Amino acid sequence: KNEVEQSPQNLTAQEGEFITINCSYSVGISALHWLQQHPGGGIVSLFMLSSGKKKHGRLIATINIQEKHSSLHITASHPRDSAVYICAVAADSNYQLIWGAGTKLIIKP
C-alpha cells in the first residue's frame, strides 16, 4: 500500500462543476502540499497545509490531521483547470516529499 493515496486517478467534468480531489496518507507529517502540473509543463505549488483550511481564488484545500486526509476543491471549474493535481507530504521524520500518483483532471467546455 502506498503511503500517499489519491483519488480519483482520473476525473472528467463539465465546465462549472464543483471538483473534489482526495488525498489520504499513512505517515506522520509536518506538512502536506497540493501541486499542479499541466501537460508538458512545470510544477506549480498550490498550497502547503499543516492544519485547517486554505483558500486561493477558486481553489480550497482542507486537511484533517486526525483522519490523515486532505481534499482539494475547485469551484466553478474551467477548462484551464485541466491538469494533473498532485498531493505530496513532508513526513515528520524525513525532509523528502512522499508523492501521490496524481489525479488527472479534464474539464470539458
63 phi and psi angles, rounded to 5 deg: -140, 140
Q: Which is nearer to other proteins, 74 or 86 (CB)?
A: 86
Assigned C-alpha cell, 63: 486537511
- Verify binding: residue 10, other proteins, rule CB under 8 A: no
Q: Among 8-16, 57-65, 75-83, 87-95, which window interacts with other proteins (CB under 8 A)?
A: 87-95
User: For residues 108 and 14, is the Cβ–Cβ distance under 8 A?
Assistant: yes
- Tell which one of 59, 102, 103, 105 touches other proteins (CB under 8 A): 102
- Residue the block writes with cell 480531489: 21
Look at residues 58, 6, 11 and name the one whose alpha carbon lies nearest to residue 32.
6
- Verify binding: residue 35, other proteins, rule CB under 8 A: yes
- Verify binding: residue 45, other proteins, rule CB under 8 A: yes
- Verify binding: residue 9, other proteins, rule CB under 8 A: no
* Residue 33 identity (one-letter amino acid): H
User: For residues 26 and 3, is the Cβ–Cβ distance under 8 A?
Assistant: yes
- Tell which one of 14, 44, 76, 106 touches other proteins (CB under 8 A): 44
- Positions in the binding site for other proteins (CB under 8 A): 30-31, 33, 35, 40-45, 48, 86, 88, 90, 95-97, 99-102
